[in-house]
A and B are shown apart, each in its own frame.
Chain A
């Protein structure tokens, strides 16, 4: 090639913009984590500080640090997986719950509880959730097949979602006692309250490999911008991209749901808000979405603790209350860019 290399201003500028965005979000992550460490809640409403120097250590290690870590990890997972799924399905309305991994995990946990295998704070419950998300993934794989196209995968995910929700309702319906029903329900609503470092230790080994699988699909997601055929011609097999994202999402979201219950819409809202700032590049959206999800979830969880005295709001209820209207707004207003 004889052409002198001219400056490609756009590429550099947008890559830099993506890194700046990640840097800004990183600072917000630290700020949100700091707030989450110093703000607590009792039945009397929000509390600030640690309730005395002798209590500080226990309050931090037993309550605040696990809760803060889980908010960051779960939020990051939901943001990252939402961005990856939207890239995979080339649809800004995609969400981790779409795959059935979340509802499968919820059902797994409910089953464990239903058969009285565990109290609400036991690690048996998360173990059941992980099994549920893996079963949902296996069902998805079986229904969609190795060579299943994207539409088949989405429809299979919706079917699995509906089926898992129906089974969960069935379990609730036949709950052995009103107390058990209430426990199941509260756990399904999604919450970061009363979690320990053991929960972090259970979720993290599932989340980290999940993240890595999703990130390995980054180039494939960029290529899919041009459609499946062109992606394949660029040497980035769409089937490989598909299973990296689906497998990674099932692992990471399964781990997240396992310890916090179902927290919806974070994976929908965060990538959508950030996409325009990274020039619509699916791969450049991944890191900012991870950080943005961590920020949003932490802030929502801190906001819950700042509510006036009364029963603590569940995180999943708050994200759903805010996320569902946002979802409707997107459906009504934003048409998918696929019309281009």
Chain B
């Protein structure tokens, strides 16, 4: 099954945030959206999630997402916004369980599936330890993991996450990347907006590089994150090498501003 974007473009007023994009994303893939600030990564992600008015069409195994009922779409695509908000200090477990809303009928008690998915999401993000703590008493990194758990709890075939590791310590950055890769290899499509190029190179088999509202390259990390591309689009000179047989790409030196 494939998520296909055909001529998907986003315009805010007169500013073009995303020029028409054509891309097909497969189940089983962990896809990174990378590019400098303002490149259109979040716009593309939101358009794929159906949360932003956009030109073109997005289809899932042939069916246009617009034609789906909102509940069916919510079960198909889970979305984690950048800097998501938490308005009431519920417990971590209650908050993660909100990810089950698309699966629960009005007024119905949570099913065994709902409970199992919630516990699974807590374990995947290593947040079970503070499942009973209210979310106002968590650090920002712990909150970020709880919010990811909420998105995972949907158990959707498509998971779209916007900067899921920005607030995390190195241990949990690695842990979340491994979780996303496992979730993808278990049969989901995972698309993540990421800035951490070394982790992108290690964990993502496919990278979409965006710049100035356009997808400028699409392929494996060795190909997309080459020295010339990083110099041109990120204005950084990278250190490109391999370690334990895997690509290691580090932004090393800033080039003169454009």
User: A: which residues have CB within 8 A of B?
Assistant: 1, 3-8, 10-11, 14-15, 90, 216, 218-219, 222-227, 229-230, 232-237, 275, 279-282, 337-340
Are the C-beta atoms of A8 and B115 separated by less than 8 Å?
Answer: yes
Q: Is the CB of B87 within 8 A of A234?
A: no
Of the candidates B90, B101, B116, B147, the one whose C-beta lies within 8 Å of that of A5 is B116
Q: Is B67 an interface position by the 8 A CB rule?
A: no
Query: Knowing A223-B98, A279-B94, A337-B88 touch, does A1 contact B110 (C-beta < 8 A)?
Result: no
Chain B interface SS verdict (over half): helix
In the complex, what residues of A have CB within 8 A of residue B69's CB?
235
Q: Is the CB of A230 within 8 A of B79?
A: yes
* B110 and A8 contacting across the interface, CB-CB below 8 Å: yes
Residue on A nearest B120 in the bound complex, by CB: A3
Interface residues of B in 200-231 (CB under 8 A from A): none
B125 within 8 Å of A (CB atoms): no
A226 near B116 with CB under 8 A, answer: no
Pick the contact of A237 from B70, B72, B136 — CB < 8 Å? B70
Q: Let me know if B98 and A225 touch, CB within 8 A.
A: yes
Q: Which of B112-162 contact A (CB under 8 A)?
A: 112-113, 115-120, 123, 131-132, 134-136, 143, 147, 150, 154-155
Q: How far is the CA of A270 from the CA of B132 in the complex (A)?
A: 25
CB-nearest residue of chain A to B82: A229
B74, B80, B90, B131: the one within 8 Å of A281 (CB): B90
List, in ascending order, chain A residues with CB within 8 A of B235's CB. Answer: none
Q: What residue of chain B has the Cβ atom nearest to residue A15's Cβ?
A: B109
List B contacts of A10 (CB < 8 A): 91, 93-94, 131-132
Q: Is the CB of B81 within 8 A of A280?
A: no
Residue of A nearest to B85 (CB): A227
What is the 8 Å Cβ interface bit string for chain B, positions 10-46, against chain A (1 contact, 0 not)?
0000000000000000000000000000000000001
B83 CB to nearest A CB, Å: 9
Q: Which 8 A-B pairs have the closest CB atoms?
A: A235-B74, A233-B79, A90-B87, A280-B88, A227-B85, A235-B70, A5-B116, A235-B71
Given the known inter-chain contacts A6-B115, A15-B109, please indicate yes or no for A233 contacting B49, CB distance below 8 A.
yes
Contact B89 A1 (CB under 8 A): no
Across the interface, name the chain A residue whose C-beta is closest to B123.
Answer: A3
Docked complex Cα distance between A309 and B115 (Å): 59
Count, A-B residue pairs, CB within 8 A: 135
Whether a CB of chain A sits under 8 angstroms from the CB of B172 is no
**In chain A, what residue has the closest Cβ to B155?**
A1
Q: Closest CB-CB distance, B154 to chain A, in whole Å?
A: 8
* 16 pairs, CB–CB < 8 Å, chain A vs chain B: A1-B116, A1-B117, A1-B120, A3-B123, A5-B113, A5-B115, A6-B116, A218-B106, A222-B101, A223-B101, A229-B81, A232-B51, A233-B51, A233-B78, A340-B85, A340-B143
Residues of B within 8 A of A226 (CB): 84-87, 95, 98, 147, 150
Chain B contacts for A232, CB-based, 8 A = 51
Residue B233 CB within 8 A of the other chain: no
Contact A11 B110 (CB under 8 A): yes
Interface size range of chain B in the complex = 35 or more
Using CB atoms, name the residue of chain A closest to B94.
Answer: A279
Q: Which of B72, B81, B97, B119 contacts A3 (CB 8 A)?
A: B119
Q: Given contacts A229-B51, A233-B74, could you give 20 more A-B pairs where the C-beta distance is less than 8 Å? A: A5-B113, A5-B119, A7-B115, A8-B93, A8-B115, A8-B119, A11-B93, A219-B106, A227-B84, A227-B85, A227-B87, A233-B51, A233-B77, A235-B69, A235-B74, A236-B70, A236-B101, A337-B88, A338-B85, A340-B143
Complex Cα distance, B3 from A44, in Å, reads 78
Q: Known: A8-B93, A233-B77, A235-B74. Is A282-B88 also a contact (CB below 8 A)?
A: yes
Question: Complex Cα distance A230/B95, Å?
Answer: 12
Assess the B118–A280 pair: CB atoms within 8 A: no
| B192 CB, nearest partner CB in chain A, Å | 15
Residue ID in chain A nearest B81 by CB atoms: A229
In the assembled complex, B6 has its CB within 8 A of some CB on chain A: no
- Given A3-B119, A11-B93, A11-B94, does the pair A224, B87 have CB atoms closer than 8 Å? yes
Alpha-carbon distance between A15 and B86 when the two chains are bound, in angstroms: 20
List B contacts of A280 (CB < 8 A).
88-90, 94, 134
Given known A-B contacts A227-B85, A229-B79, A233-B49, A11 and B90 have beta carbons under 8 A apart: no
**One of A4, A234, A275 near B98 (C-beta < 8 A):** A234
Task: Encode contact with A along B37-63: 1 for CB under 8 Å, 0 otherwise.
Answer: 000000000100101000000000000
Name B150's closest neighbour in chain A (CB-CB): A226
B132 A222 Cβ-Cβ under 8 A = no
